[in-house]
Amino acid sequence: MTNHYIDLKNSDCILIMGSNAAEHHPIAFKWILRAKEKGAKIIHVDPRYTRTSARCDYHVPLRSGTDIAFLGGMINYIVNNDKWFKDYVLNYTNASFIVGPDFTFQDGLFSGYDAQKRKYNKDTWVLEKDSKGIPKRDMSLNDPRCVFQMMKTHYSRYTLDKVSSITGVSKENLLKVYEEYSATGVKDKAGTECYALGWTHHTTGSQIIRTMSMIQLLLGNMGICGGGVNALRGEPNVQGSTDHAILYNILPGYLKMPPASLDTLDKYLEKNTPVSKDPQSANYYQNYPKFFVSFLKSMFHDKATAENGFGYSWMPKLDDGVHYSLMHLFDKMYEGKIKGLFAVGTDPAVSSPNTNKVRKALEKLDWMVGENIFNNETYSFWKGPGVDPKQVKTEVFLLPASASMEKEGSQSNSGRWVQWKYKAAEAPGDGIPVGEITIKIMAAVRALYAKEGGVHPDPILNLKWDYTDIKGRYDALKVSKQINGYFLKDTVIEDKAAGTKTEFKKGQLVPTFGMLQVDGATASGNWVMAGSFTATGENRMAKRGKDDPTGLGLYPNWSYAWPVNRRIIYNRASCDIYGKPYNPKRKLLEWVGDKWVGDVPDGPWPPQADKEKGKYPFIMKADGLGALFGPGMVEGPFPEHYEPLEGPLAKNPLSGQLINPAIEIFKSDLDKVANADAKFPYVCTTYSCTEHWCSGALTRWQAWLLEMQPELYVEIGDLLARDLGIRNGAKVRVSSIRGAVECVAMVTKRFKPFQIEGKTVHQVGLPFNYGWLFPKDGSDSTNFLTPTVGDANTFCPEYKAFMVNVQKI
């Protein structure tokens, strides 16, 4: 989240789209209701009427996978009806920048596309610079090549008629949402957006979120109280997994995973350290080398020296152009190229797309190690439905782990608050924390390497690995301090602005990432967490102060929010260029005299009207401004609507390009696709329910929860059910070209048919919380239906839009 949960109460208009907040974030939803009680409008845009819709002002149904069309139409509306916040857009976005002369967009494709590789060459996606290397700007926004005009032209195609025909949303409803939401494009109003898996689970997921970011920039809703783009991340630890890099493509603190071609530290740092010639751009990522070298020091400590590139060569590298997402992993496993698997706290035999392929892939493993609090369908795949245990060679080990309440440590919530918590109970039986299991396994591995050498032993043997307490057990506090970081030698930190010098002793904790060093004087396992402890060792994550000096619900002394306890990021954009708050009633920050007062500002510099010392507000962007033109994405600088891999249409109504041109197409014999196929006429989407958690591997064993949601069901609109002769509560078979599940029909008025390109299109939906292991009559994984395909940037799988058939049994 750019903001945080409590801040939702400060909003004037909350668009919930791509989220079923009431069902999946029931506690967070409290703050949405607080806003509603104060008069905010709450809008739910979702294919299905859910428990969230029931508590919103109104619900607008849209066909799964058409969010960019819906939001693109909103950009068109905002621009044409002059709803954009001019002061903000001119000063705080790249609207006035000039797009390079060779950049084009034609019939759904941007310049530089290679159809063979399904990949763009981004060389033409550039902004023009003057002779000093500073971006050229046209502050009148009239230049036809300026970002604003290019954007306006791009979205002029997203007319009400066109958008309505693609999304199935009536024109009246489109206008209603557009008018209501864009009314926040003024100084004293704030609009926010809440999304979750309903946006990320698409082949265009990242671009949906980017489209919303553009809307928020146009309306001046970024960096303000009650604004922002807010991912509601849940207990599956999405926030922690990205902050601490459980994903393949990043290192802790969102540092980039090195590819093989960047074979030296210098090459790597040059590639990843952005340069800005604009004196008003803070370009904070110019400090990238400090963060990365400190990370290497945390990995290899004394063994990492300037001479050996701080151990850069010991870091694993990605093959260039190759991805290693969950889907790639199972694809390679299915090919027989992966021999062993650690499945820690996960149940991919239920939760990963294309279950038939996943379960076949598991059979090709030599060994698997599971770490969990319960057995699940993955660890028991060898005795699953249709599997003959005698034919499976895989050796499976299941190690009992303790649950989150049974161990000490930190928890990261969506608002970037990292809260320390203590052990509430002992784990039953032999259960121990996953950290403890890791310590034990690594001790054995290191001993083997020390004894036998083996292939490339250096990374293993040079690793700093002393995270145990005096009894030899995993010590969460020690790990957390390493993540925060230490001074490795006596260091004097000079603050030129304040004219002070402070000396830190070797072994002291680094109190903020601004003090990290590039020469190896500091170690930090995750730079964004530097500051979670004070220099004297106070654990700021354990703070529980209830004071709220701004009255805005920032609670600065409750836990630690990264970065540097900033509660709302980009917060300097809540003030005008002179540092005066746009909305004095919700004063997040103000430039008073020679300093910022309020939330922790995005840097100490004066506001940007001070041409000498002032800086732009978006300090993590090289140009310092919000990006309406965003060349970082793989499928183009302006988000464009493409149909899902499987949809009801044979042609994209907006262009000749049917699907996202940059997605990877998996090609195994089990990766079948049936687009616009009469055999699979219904759009299908999958989701969770309040009563279960993810694959249900933890919650299906809980009798109170199972009593409320005992088995798999498919929600079918009453009109479709009538056509198919399906009664409420009857058993049905739902099938895609990849597989099928049997379940109970829940006939409802909460799914309505859509009118798409002049035709009636029905949508159905199923929860993804069930598996064959338990309960025995609860059916099996919904993911038998889903395709192996994902977002082009993140490879987050498409669980939300594909095609099925529904039949009576």
Partner 1 sequence: MEKELIKLIDTTKCTACRGCQVACKQWNEMPGLKTKQWGSYQNPPDLQWNTWTLIRFQEYVSDKGAFKWLFRKDGCMHCTDAACVKVCPSGALHHTEFGTVGLNSSRCIGCKECVSACPFDIPRYNRETDKIYKCDLCYNRLRGDESPSCVKSCPTGALTIGRKDAMTKKAYARAKELGGDANVYGDKFVGGTHVLYVLDEKAKVYDNLPRDPSVPFSIIVWKDMLKPLALLAAGGVLAGSFLHYILHGPKLPDEPGPNEPGKEEKGGE
CA dihedral 429, 430, 436, 440 (to 10 degrees): 180
Q: Is 173 one of the binding residues for partner 1 (CB under 8 A)? A: no
Q: Name the token pair of 529.
A: 């967490």
From residue 1 to residue 30, the character string flagging contacts with partner 1 as x (rule: CB under 8 A) and all else as - is ---------------------xx--xx-xx
Task: Write down the residue that tokens 């396994």 correspond to.
Answer: 441
User: Closest distance between partner 1 and the C-beta of residue 547, in Å?
Assistant: 23
Q: Report whether 207 contacts 639 (CB < 8 A).
A: yes
Q: Taking contact as CB under 8 A, which single stretch among the options 374-382, 485-493, 608-616, 747-755 is the one that binds partner 1?
A: 747-755
Residue 49 or 666: the one with the smaller Cβ distance to partner 1 is: 49
Q: Report whether 208 contacts 173 (CB < 8 A).
A: no
Q: Is 745 one of the binding residues for partner 1 (CB under 8 A)? A: yes
User: Closest distance between partner 1 and the C-beta of residue 58, in Å?
Assistant: 10
* Interface with partner 1 (CB under 8 A), residue from 705, 720, 796, 801: 705
Task: Write down the residue that tokens 């990043």 correspond to.
Answer: 250
Residue 33 or 126: the one with the smaller Cβ distance to partner 1 is: 33
Nearest CA to 416 among 528, 550, 538, 527? Answer: 528
Number of amino acids touching partner 1 (CB under 8 A): 38
Q: Name the token pair of 656.
A: 């000749």
Residue 55 or 323: the one with the smaller Cβ distance to partner 1 is: 55
Residue 26 or 279: the one with the smaller Cβ distance to partner 1 is: 26
d(CA 783, CA 201): 13
* Interface with partner 1 (CB under 8 A), residue from 706, 734, 756, 789: 706
Burial 424-458 (b: 16+ CB within 10 A, else e): eeebeeebbbbbbbbbeeeeeeeeebeeeeeeeee
Q: Which amino acid is at 268?
A: Y
d(CA 377, CA 725): 34
User: Closest distance between partner 1 and the C-beta of residue 170, in Å?
Assistant: 14
H or E element: which one contains 41? strand 41-45
User: Closest distance between partner 1 and the C-beta of residue 56, in Å?
Assistant: 11
Q: Taking contact as CB under 8 A, which single stretch among the options 50-58, 101-109, 214-222, 414-422 is the one that binds partner 1?
A: 50-58
* Interface with partner 1 (CB under 8 A), residue from 272, 557, 702, 794: 702
User: Closest distance between partner 1 and the C-beta of residue 424, in Å?
Assistant: 15
* Interface with partner 1 (CB under 8 A), residue from 5, 49, 486, 751: 49
Residue 395 or 723: the one with the smaller Cβ distance to partner 1 is: 723
* Interface with partner 1 (CB under 8 A), residue from 51, 323, 446, 489: 51
10 Å CB burial of residue 733 (0-12, 13-18, 19+) is: middle
Q: Among the residues of 398-475, which ranges form H helices?
A: 434-452, 458-462
Length of the chain: 809
User: Closest distance between partner 1 and the C-beta of residue 46, in Å?
Assistant: 13
Residue 132 or 749: the one with the smaller Cβ distance to partner 1 is: 749
d(CA 375, CA 396): 11
User: Closest distance between partner 1 and the C-beta of residue 316, in Å?
Assistant: 43
* Interface with partner 1 (CB under 8 A), residue from 240, 553, 681, 710: 710
Q: From residue 647, how far is each of 577, 713, 763, 790 by CA, in Å?
A: 46, 22, 11, 15
Other Cβ atoms less than 10 A from the Cβ of 90: the count is 17
SS3 of 198-230: HHHCCCCHHHHHHHHHHHHHHCCCCCCCCCCEE
User: Closest distance between partner 1 and the C-beta of residue 731, in Å?
Assistant: 10
Q: Is 750 one of the binding residues for partner 1 (CB under 8 A)? A: yes
d(CA 449, CA 654): 58
Residue 27 or 115: the one with the smaller Cβ distance to partner 1 is: 27
User: Closest distance between partner 1 and the C-beta of residue 54, in Å?
Assistant: 4
Q: Report whether 682 contacts 763 (CB < 8 A).
A: yes
Q: Taking contact as CB under 8 A, which single stretch among the options 160-168, 207-215, 270-278, 707-715 is the one that binds partner 1?
A: 707-715
* Interface with partner 1 (CB under 8 A), residue from 38, 54, 478, 507: 54
Residue 648 or 778: the one with the smaller Cβ distance to partner 1 is: 778
User: Closest distance between partner 1 and the C-beta of residue 552, in Å?
Assistant: 20
Q: Is 688 one of the binding residues for partner 1 (CB under 8 A)? A: no
Q: Is 39 one of the binding residues for partner 1 (CB under 8 A)? A: no
Residue 82 or 707: the one with the smaller Cβ distance to partner 1 is: 707
Q: From residue 351, how far is each of 38, 328, 393, 697, 768 by CA, in Å?
A: 39, 15, 23, 10, 7
d(CA 22, CA 29): 5
d(CA 272, CA 264): 13
From residue 115 to residue 154, the character string flagging contacts with partner 1 as x (rule: CB under 8 A) and all else as - is ----------------------------------------
Residue 19 or 149: the one with the smaller Cβ distance to partner 1 is: 19
Q: Is 747 one of the binding residues for partner 1 (CB under 8 A)? A: yes
* Interface with partner 1 (CB under 8 A), residue from 66, 206, 281, 709: 709
Nearest CA to 381 among 371, 570, 368, 114? Answer: 368
Residues found near partner 1 in the complex (CB under 8 A): 22-23, 26-27, 29-30, 33, 49, 51-55, 690-691, 702-713, 728-730, 743-750
